[in-house]
Chains A and B, each alone.
Chain A
């Protein structure tokens, strides 16, 4: 059994305010992700890349199709139909999501944000503190920022914090939405090291990249998208 098997995934948005206008996010998506594998998706913005990731994370409700996922807690589960409780549990323990946008809560310091992610999985606070620090250090977030609120961070700093918060849990499955956008070369290398490190430890990943050169160094399979559909793919 693969980790994730997406069959005929469709997502369209029904806009009530605009006379029921339908906007297609993605359609006819078929993908298989094996355990420990890393799939990269490329394409212009608006091609539907994020839609797939958000469907998997269930920030979007798929319109049709199925996404069979091998969960530690629930066995094989169709993420398209999983209950809210299951999704919360899976998000907390198994699937991480990283984007370039700040999703963290206001008035929580950078360090606490990372600590809270770990504590939510049941990790004792003392150990969480240590791991949070080493993770922030790894992604090169300046130590002077650890005790401050991230809402004033630059795009690169926010991304590094998001990466630290997602990766500190060493999730089984990680969704990466442009994880290297607005990062300098040094930071990109830190991300790459971490990705390779997580892969060695068995984390499976699915990522969206603009930086094709970076992507080619880390992914096992690569798909390209256009207008909501997968138009090409190759194995690295």
Chain B
């Protein structure tokens, strides 16, 4: 397996489903709710590859299915159907969705990091910053307080959080700092894959820049493969080489990021590009 990860025919629906669901939803119909049975087709027919050290962008407006997609990759959501292979797990042979939930958790803790738009989802705000990092390390079987704290110091230094704040609660941190603690936590076990879901949305511009620079630095220094989900083309342009465009739960276009921006093919992508400020 050359790819770091491979996803095939991923589908996630909410509802009982009917034979018409897939035919009557998607960008051609401009909806993701099946008009027959009311099932929401959050994403369908999604196949993608990410190569080692590569950063893949996923753009699309709210409701396009991009967040559902990454949450399904992080096992936050159970897919309705589909395959998911990770090179770093048993040479990419087993479909990860067929694993027991304990093995899925192992893959998630050892091989992936996730940074959510909302720090409440990625952090326990009533645990200290260090405790949040400790949680990931404990999951991976490190039961030595001294070495946990050593690693936490490394990570917090890297993400520019003052070490004096290590034992404070992230509840009282600024939004940008919370995102940086989330990144520290996600990187705690040096995972080969990092998933970033709208990580700069809602932050002040200068803080956004700071978080993006940090992500770029991590990518450059550690060669981590990343999937970056954003509705913001400037984030995508800055971080990615390749981009996937989603609408109504389907991939409508994929290509080199500069090509997507300068020569968009699909009507929806053209609309997105023309809407840039």
A and B touch in the complex (CB under 8 A): yes
Given contacts A59-B258, A61-B255, contact A84 B271 (CB under 8 A): no
> A58 at interface (Cβ–Cβ under 8 A)?
yes
Closest Cβ neighbor of B234 among chain A residues: A106
Expressed in whole angstroms, the minimum distance between the Cβ of A2 and any Cβ of chain B is: 25
Interface set, chain B 241-272, CB cutoff 8 A to A: 241-242, 254-256, 258-259, 262-263, 265-267, 270-271
Expressed in whole angstroms, the minimum distance between the Cβ of A193 and any Cβ of chain B is: 29
> A107 at interface (Cβ–Cβ under 8 A)?
yes
Query: Within the complex, which residue of B213, B255, B267, B274 is in contact with A107, where a contact is CB–CB below 8 Å?
Result: B213
Inter-chain contacts of A106 with B (CB < 8 A): 209, 238
Inter-chain contacts of A61 with B (CB < 8 A): 255, 259, 263, 265
Closest Cβ neighbor of B263 among chain A residues: A60
Expressed in whole angstroms, the minimum distance between the Cβ of B96 and any Cβ of chain A is: 23
On whether the beta carbons of A59 and B209 are closer than 8 Å, the reply is no
CA distance A59 to B259 in the complex (A): 4
Chain A, interface size: which category? Answer: 10 to 19
Inter-chain contacts of A14 with B (CB < 8 A): 265
Inter-chain contacts of A123 with B (CB < 8 A): none
On whether the beta carbons of B270 and A16 are closer than 8 Å, the reply is yes
Expressed in whole angstroms, the minimum distance between the Cβ of A194 and any Cβ of chain B is: 24
Inter-chain contacts of B238 with A (CB < 8 A): 105-106
Interface set, chain A 21-64, CB cutoff 8 A to B: 54, 58-61
Inter-chain contacts of A116 with B (CB < 8 A): 220
Expressed in whole angstroms, the minimum distance between the Cβ of A125 and any Cβ of chain B is: 11
> A88 at interface (Cβ–Cβ under 8 A)?
yes
CA distance A171 to B254 in the complex (A): 27
Interface set, chain A 84-135, CB cutoff 8 A to B: 84-85, 87-88, 105-107, 116
Per-residue B-contact encoding for A2-29, CB less than 8 Å = 1, 0 else:
0000000000011111000000000000
B residues with a Cβ closer than 8 A to A are: 51, 209, 213, 216, 220, 238, 241-242, 254-256, 258-259, 262-263, 265-267, 270-271, 274
Q: List 18 A-B contacts (CB under 8 A).
A: A14-B265, A16-B270, A17-B270, A54-B262, A54-B263, A58-B256, A59-B256, A59-B258, A59-B259, A59-B262, A60-B263, A61-B265, A85-B51, A88-B242, A105-B238, A106-B238, A107-B209, A116-B220
